[in-house]
Structure 1
Amino acid sequence: MSGMQEDLDAFEGGLGDALRRTGEGFAMEGRPLVDGGVMRGRRRQRRRRIAAVTGSVTALAVVGFGASYATGALGDGSGRGGSGVAAGPTARETLPAAKTSPGRGPELSAQQVIRTLEGLLPEGKVSGRSGRGTADRLGPWAHLVLDDGRGGAAIGVSVGTVDPNGTKAKQLLECPDKVFTPYDSCRTETLADGSRLTLLRGYEYPDKRVDTKRWNAHLVTPDGYSVDASEWNAPAEKGAAVTRDTPPLTEGRLKALVTSAAWRPVMNALDRAAPEPARQPSAQGQDGRTILRKFKSLLPPSAKVTAERGDDGYAYVVVDDGRGASLVQINVQPHMSDVEESLFRAGAEVLPDGTKVVTHKAPGEKGGAGVVMWTADTIRPDGLRVVVSAFNSGSQRTEATRETPALTMRQLKSVATSGKWAAK
C-alpha cells in the first residue's frame, strides 16, 4: 500500500501529465530518450496503473473535475502550454535570457517579472523575492512574501500559454468537485474582452490538517494566454506557521492582479500554444456519460443518487438509502492484462467466463474520521478491468456518516461483473 500511496501523492502533487484524462491510469512523465529510460518509464507506468486501481480510484476522479486546483497542478510552475504557481521561494532561473523572443515582444528577465508582480501589490514590506524570466523553459514566474502589517503572506504569479478552446483550459478554469476537494467558495465569470476567470478560496491541504488557506485566481484570455495567481495566509505555501486569518488580497484585488495589463509584455514574449488535437473517442466507448448511465442502472433501488459525475473511464455517485450519504465510484479500464499477474494472484475468485475477482476492505485514504473503503476489483480475459469502491461517507475527506457503505460487497461485485461493461 505504501508504494500505491506514494504514486497517488505524486499525482496529486501536480504532474503535468495528470491533465491527460485517460481511463488507463497515470501517464509516463515525459518521453525518455534512451532504452534504459524507456524501461524505467514503463515500470513506473505499470506501478501507477496498479496503484490507480488497487486502492481508491479517487485520484483519477480529480482529473477534469477542477484539475488545476484539485491535483495541485498550480504547483508545477510550467509556463509554456500551461500555468502554475511554483512550489516555493527557492526556485531559480535555470536558463539565461535569450537575445530574441519566440513571441512578439522582447524577453523579460526574472527581475522584471518580479517587479511586475511587486508593482501590482498594496503597500507593505516585501521579502523573499524569487522568479523566472520569459526565456526559462518552465515559463515566467514570480514569488515573494508581502507583509502589509498584518503578517507575512506568500504570493505567486505565473504566466503561460494554453489553447483557449481546448480541454486543458476548460479543466484549469473549472471549479473543483467538492466531493474530492473542499473549499469555501469558487466562481467563474466571462469578462468583457472574452477572457474567462475563476476565483477560488480554498486550502493548501484539502484535508485541512493545518489552517493554511490558499486563494487563487486563474485567467485565460481569448488569444491563448493564462495568468495564474495564488496567495496564502502564511509566508510559505507549506511548512510555515499561519501568520494571519486570511491572505492579504481581497477577491477584488486578486482579480485585478491577474487581469492587469501589466502582464501583457510578459505574455508577448511567449510563443503561442499550439491548438490541442481533436479529442479521440475513448477506448471501447467508455466515456463519462456512458459509464455514468450504466453505473446508475446497476445500483440497487434503495440507493437514491444525490450527486453524480462522470469522466472518461470513471464515474461516481453519492447515494443515500436513508442511513446516510455514501460515495460509490467506478473505474473502467481496457487493456489492463499487464497487471493481472500482480493484482489477481492466489485467492482471486474465477467466474465461469474467466473473469477474476478480488475484494478488499480497508480504511479510507484521505483522512476522513472513521471512513472505510470496500472494493470489488475485476479483470476479464480480454483485459477489461472494472473496479468499484464504496465508502461509508459522502466524501473520503469528511467523517463517516454511517457504519458501512450503502452497497454490500456482494452488490459491488455484481456491479463490477455486469455484462454491461463489455457492451458499447
Structure 2
Amino acid sequence: MPVDQHSDPFDAPQTDPFEDRLSAALHQAGGTFDTNRAALAAAGAARGRRLRLQRRAAVLGGAASVALAAVGGALLVPWGGSAPASRATAVGATPKPSASTSTSASASASASASATAGSTTTATATTAEGPVSAEQMIETLKKLMPKGTFSQEAGRGTQKDKDLPIAAPYASVVFEDGKGPAAVSVSLNRVQPGTQEAQDASRCPDKVYVPYDACTTKRLDDGSVIMILQGYEYPDRRVDTKLWRAELLTPKGQQVSVMEWNSASEKDAPISRPEPPLDPEQLTRLASAPEWRTVVDTMPEPPKVTEKPGSQPSLPDVHARATLLQLLPKDLDVVDKSRGDDSEFAYAVVDDGRGRSLVQVNVQPDMRDAADALFGSGSETLSDGTRVAVHQGPGAKGAAGSVMWTVDTMRPDGRRVVISAFNAGTQQEAATRATPALTIAQMREMALSTHWFRAQSTN
C-alpha cells in the first residue's frame, strides 16, 4: 500500500522540539551504526540542532518506542532533559528518521471507548483532578482491550518522581486472546500544536528509511490526525517481528501512541502469532479513547520554545532537495527523491547503470560548539578555514555488504554540510553494488559548494 501523501496537519512555523534527543536515543537503541559514527553524531547533536537525517523515521520510532524499548522503561518528554551523549545518532544514520504516527477517532467516542477493540467492559474515565497512577494507566489499558488475559504489566503514572521528574505516563502488558501472547503498549505525551514535532507526528515514514506493509493517515471529524502503520520491529527484517502502531494527535496537542507486536516482547522473543492482536480499526479505537486525553490533560503544558532575535544564526531559504539535485553529476539518473521543501535535509536515489545508490545531505546553520569532536585527527582545514572530514565504513547492521561514505564539512562560521552515500537504494537493504555511485571527490565537491547557502528554485 503506498504512502498516503498529504499536507502538514497543523500549519505553523517550524520550531526545534525534541527531535534530536529522540533521534539520538532511537539510533542508539537500534544499534544500527558503528561507534565511530555514533560518537561523531553525538557531538553533532550537542546543541540540540535538528539533525534531520531521516527525520520522519525518527519520529516514527518516536515517543512510544523510546519509552517502551524495554518494558518498564520511561519516556522523557520534550520539554525537559536530554538524551545522554552515548545515545547520540550517527551522521547520516537511519532511521530518522520520523514520521511519528498519530491516531484519533472523533471526540464523540465514549461509545467507541467502551467498545474499543471489541471490548465488552466499559472503562471508567480517568478524572483530571489529580495525578494518575501507574496502576490506573495499566487498568485503563486492560479495560479498553478485547477479552483476554494479561501478564507482565508495567506502567508509569503522571505523579512527580524525584528521579524522573519529566517522565511521561505509559502502560504496557502482554495480552493473550488464545491466539498467542502479544506485547501491547500505550504512551502519552503533550506537544505544542503547530510545531515541527506536531506536523511530523501524522506523516507516514519514507520507505527509503523505514520498510512497512501499509500506512495510512487521515484527518478526523474533530480535527485530530490519525496514522496507522503496519511495519516491523527491525528495519532490516533480520527477524520478522511485526510492529503495528497508531498515533493520535489532537488540535490541543494531546498525543497518544499505541504499539503492538506479534510476540510477547518487542525484541528477543519468538514470534508467537502471525499478526499483532488489534487490527487497524481496533488500534484507532484504542488510541482515540477519551480516557487517554483526560490523562494527558493532567500533564503540564510544554513551555513555548522561543528564541531571542539574533540568538542563533539561520540558513538562507535554501531548498535542500533542489540544491542536491542541481549538484549531482549529470550522468546519474535520479530514480527517487525526497519530498517537501525542507531546507536542512534531502535525499536522492540515483543509478549510473550499475545499480541504485542512496545519497543524502544534511545542512545545519551553526555547529561550532561541536567542531572539535566532529573534526578530529585525520580531518583537514582548508585555506579559508573550512574543515573537512571523510568517513568510509560499513552501513546498517544486517544489510550484507552495505557501506556508507560520508564527507562532513564545516565553514568557519559553523555552517555545516554533510553528504553521505550508500551502495544500495535504501539504508536497510543489502548491497546492490560494490561502492556508492558517487566518488569521495564528487561528494567533497558537492559538500563544499556555495549553493547550499543561496536561495534556490524548487524542483
Q: Name the TM tier (shorter chain).
A: 0.7 to 0.9
Instruction: Let me know the Cα RMSD of the aligned residues.
Output: 3.5
Q: Which residue of 2 aligns with 1:227?
A: 256
Structure 1 residue 228 displacement after superposition: 1.2
Identity of paired residues, percent? 42
- Is 2:420 aligned against 1:389? yes
Q: 2:394 aligns with which of 352, 363, 385?
A: 363
Q: How many Å apart are 1:171 and its aligned residue? A: 1.7
Code of the aligned partner of 1:143: S
CA distance in 2, matches of 1:412, 1:107: 54
The partner residue of 2:71 within 89, 108, 111 is 89
Are 1:66 and 1:174, in contact at CA under 8 Å, matched by a contact in 2? Answer: no
- 1 or 2 for the larger relative contact order (CA 8 Å, sep ≥6)? 2
CA apart distance, 1:111: 2.0
Shift of 1:373: 2.1
Task: Compare 105-114 and 410-419 and name the one that shifted more.
Answer: 105-114
The answer to whether residue 272 in structure 2 is matched with residue 243 in structure 1 is yes
Give the structure 2 partner of residue 147 of structure 1: 176
Alignment match, 1:19 = 19
Structure 2: 5+ residue runs without aligned partners? 1-15, 26-37, 76-126, 161-165
How far does residue 73 in structure 1 lie from its aligned partner after superposition?
Answer: 3.2
Describe how 1:329-408 pairs up with structure 2 within 5 A: 329-338=360-369, 340-341=371-372, 344=375, 348=379, 351-408=382-439
Contact 1:107/1:133, CA 8 A, preserved across alignment:
yes
CA deviation string 1:266-299 (max 9, x = no partner): 2443344455548989844256x52222222111
| Aligned partners of 1:21 and 1:312 also within 8 Å | no
* Kept after mapping to 1: 8 A contact 2:242/2:275: yes
CA distance 1:228–1:26, change in 2 (3 Å): closer
Letter matched to residue 69 of structure 2: A
Runs of 4+ in 1 over 6 A off after TM superposition: 278-282
**2:247 is the counterpart of 1:218:** yes
Q: Is the 8 A contact 1:128 1:144 kept in 2?
A: yes
C-alpha contact 1:166 1:275 (8 A) present in aligned 2:
no
Correspondence for 1:318: 349
Is the CA contact 2:254–2:293 (under 8 Å) kept in the aligned structure 1?
no
Give 2:154's match in structure 1, choosing from 130, 147, 151: 130
1:61 has 2:61 as partner? no
- Give the 5 Å matches for 1:232-271: 232-271=261-300
The letter of the residue matching 1:131 is G
Judged with a 3 Å threshold, the aligned counterparts in structure 2 of structure 1 residues 395 and 166 are, in CA distance, closer, same or farther, namely same
Question: What residue number does 2:440 align with?
Answer: 409
How high is the TM-score relative to the length of structure 2?
0.70
| Structure 2: distance between partners of 1:279 and 1:241 | 52
Alpha-carbon distance between aligned partners in 2 of 1:92 and 1:352, rounded to the nearest angstrom:
48
Q: Post-superposition shift, 1:163?
A: 2.3
Describe the superposition over 1:198-249 as per-residue Cα deviations: whole angstroms up to 9, x where unpaired: 1011122222222221111101122331221111111112222221111111
> Residue by residue, what CA displacement relative to the aligned partner does 1:72-120 show, whole Å, maximum 9, x if unpaired?
432343xxxxxxxx33333599xxxxxxxxx953433322222211111
Unaligned runs of 5+ in 1: 1-15, 28-44, 78-85, 94-102
Q: 1:296 to 1:286 in 2, by over 3 A?
A: farther
- Contact 1:105-1:265 at 8 Å conserved across structures: no
Partner Cα distance (2:72, 2:128) in 1: 30
